[in-house]
Structure 1
């Protein structure tokens, strides 16, 4: 495999400028979740130029196969998401978003161009490996129910069934040329909370004539934290946060109702289900005890993301071969969520982070900010490493 390692590095370097150009085109033309019509047309055309036969899936997704010798020997699936965010870009660059109010602020343009770059390398090397590479370009990672769940429902993990699924995500906390990885439970599940507390509004100077839903909502916000402090196992990460509270009264007006939005996140599906019941009973019981009523809607989001330990150990070893052990960083658990988690629940999967910051500190803006951008050298590392990891996984027997 050593000769392939050298070839992949050579090809990644030779194609780096083209990969950067792909990313800049995608960055300039972002599209929101499940609206990626032009993006998927662009990706489809790039795949056809590689001699592949891409097929549509999940509305605005696409899947394609690269077959080596003995295609049925083993299949490895590679995933990239394609959607952008409703953010107005503040970068002053030639490839700035041309779609007002929409921006690739989470690096999905990087993921897509990187997978296209890896596909180009693997297509050039298909006479030198056994098995099949399944390329999965996914819509709607940023919006429930998540494009990954829709692709799985439409059979993306069948015919052929992958032995492993790999995905990568930009990580501005690490410099280009490094990756971060963690075995086991890595990212949290995420559920959206929508709570309405109803009372009886009126003049703020006559509280005895009213039933103050603001006070009831305040008690619920505080009491709900006991789910984390007293109900959750202290060894199990759990987050409950309310980030939106609307009590549309005035200085002297008590409103009839208060509306709240929040999130619940954890790393255990059993506790997740149990906590939903606790939260519902807490909200309804507390509101009732104070003479009010409430309605709690829990929109179930993505499950927690688990990196299969044996696969992740192989990915780490292969990454150390490609990048050097000093450039493969152990990550901590992270309470953000990713719909790649659906793949991790359905197959052996590994999701790692691609460093995108410059060595001098530039390109350090976080994802989901209007100034996010990347060090272009990451688009040499990303495709090359993914191609190398794929060949290593195809060789597993």
Structure 2
């Protein structure tokens, strides 16, 4: 299957589509599933769902892949380079989709050998709030039939192809987007006494806000507050009326997440007021924390060690990036693991979300085969349980 998987992935890579605009990708996935004799159907706009029916009497296991690309201009000079200006599969969702299509092919061929049902979930919009996972859940993807558990995988260039990473329990962070507008009174830079400088207020606020992480959070609880965009559209001698700031807040605890929102709001409004300005803070609630179910993850680890060898199953550290698979992990027992994609000689080490991201395509066979293997083991294990 390796040449077929490479061809699928290269087609997807060359034809990326942004979040919730995956119309051609969804059509391509639908075509591939129909060629396997399946009956895919659309869900949540550009999402695609299909069932592989094994022998009667078994459980339901769901498998998820995301399909959207990022607004990044690809810089690699490769034969399958993105043909869409400013859009690129820089997060490996082309890999995820390919591996799930490969697993679907294997499981379809083996369906006389297992009891139960495999639910294939091809998800749109992982990269953009509110997240395609939440929309698919809202539209009933975890119903009719309801899965006993759900598995997902994600590329990981820190590991070589042939290895995977697993972690039980809390693995990835919640993430919330922060939008701040600081209102003052602009004017000539030579006459500060006649103005109310929002740039100065913004500078104090950016520094002071870090006390929420350093002094209000439990030091044993990971939290990250980052401001990545600051616009003070004045000039060398012009103080602006407003300063606009964007950032994110991430943590691994939902209770602290809610508490931190209140601290941040009080700090922003109070500090600005103490300096005579006004701060408007909008918190756009993003993805929740991602929890890997301990029982499911233990079984996945054991099955992966059988398939790949124990030396190729690596313990992951917690990661404060966010993933909307977290919605699935809160709705059903779940395991989200990482698929190594770096070459043994060090090539393909570029991080995700960069314009040179690419993979060692040996990872495609590993990803497809492992996902099918894990599914068979889980179907058998849940049936036995």
The TM-score, its normalising length taken from structure 2, stands at: 0.99
Aligned mate of 2:134, from 128, 145, 149: 149
- 2:178 — aligned with what? 193
- 1:50 — aligned with what? 36
Aligned mate of 1:317, from 284, 288, 302: 302
**Cα distance, 1:221 vs structure 2:** 0.7
- 2:275 — aligned with what? 290
Residues 122-141 of structure 1 mapped to structure 2, 5 A cutoff? 122-141=107-126
Please give the secondary structure, in 2, of the residue aligned with 1:334: coil
Please give the secondary structure, in 1, of the residue aligned with 2:55: coil
Paired with 2:356 and 2:230, the residues of 1 have a C-alpha distance of 28
Paired with 1:89 and 1:73, the residues of 2 have a C-alpha distance of 44
Matched, 1:212 2:183: no
Paired with 2:240 and 2:32, the residues of 1 have a C-alpha distance of 56
**Cα distance, 1:206 vs structure 2:** 1.0
Matched, 1:333 2:318: yes
Residues 224-373 of structure 1 mapped to structure 2, 5 A cutoff? 224-373=209-358
Deviations along 1:102-125, one digit per CA (max 9) or x if unpaired, are: 110100000000000000000000
> Which structure 2 residue ranges, 5 or more long, are not aligned?
none
Paired with 2:216 and 2:150, the residues of 1 have a C-alpha distance of 35
Matched, 1:384 2:379: no
Matched, 1:68 2:68: no
**Cα distance, 1:73 vs structure 2:** 2.1
> Which structure 1 residue ranges, 5 or more long, are not aligned?
1-14
Deviations along 1:134-183, one digit per CA (max 9) or x if unpaired, are: 00000000000000000000010111111110000000000000000100
Deviations along 1:341-361, one digit per CA (max 9) or x if unpaired, are: 000011100000000000000
Paired with 1:325 and 1:111, the residues of 2 have a C-alpha distance of 23
Paired with 1:248 and 1:92, the residues of 2 have a C-alpha distance of 37
Query: Alignment RMSD, CA only?
Result: 0.6
- 1:5 — aligned with what? none
Paired with 2:283 and 2:372, the residues of 1 have a C-alpha distance of 40
Aligned length: 382
- 1:18 — aligned with what? 4
Paired with 1:370 and 1:250, the residues of 2 have a C-alpha distance of 32
**Cα distance, 1:252 vs structure 2:** 1.2
Deviation >2 Å, runs of 4+: none
**Cα distance, 1:249 vs structure 2:** 1.0
- 2:88 — aligned with what? 103
Matched, 1:177 2:159: no
The TM-score, its normalising length taken from structure 1, stands at: 0.96
Paired with 1:74 and 1:216, the residues of 2 have a C-alpha distance of 58
- 1:374 — aligned with what? 359
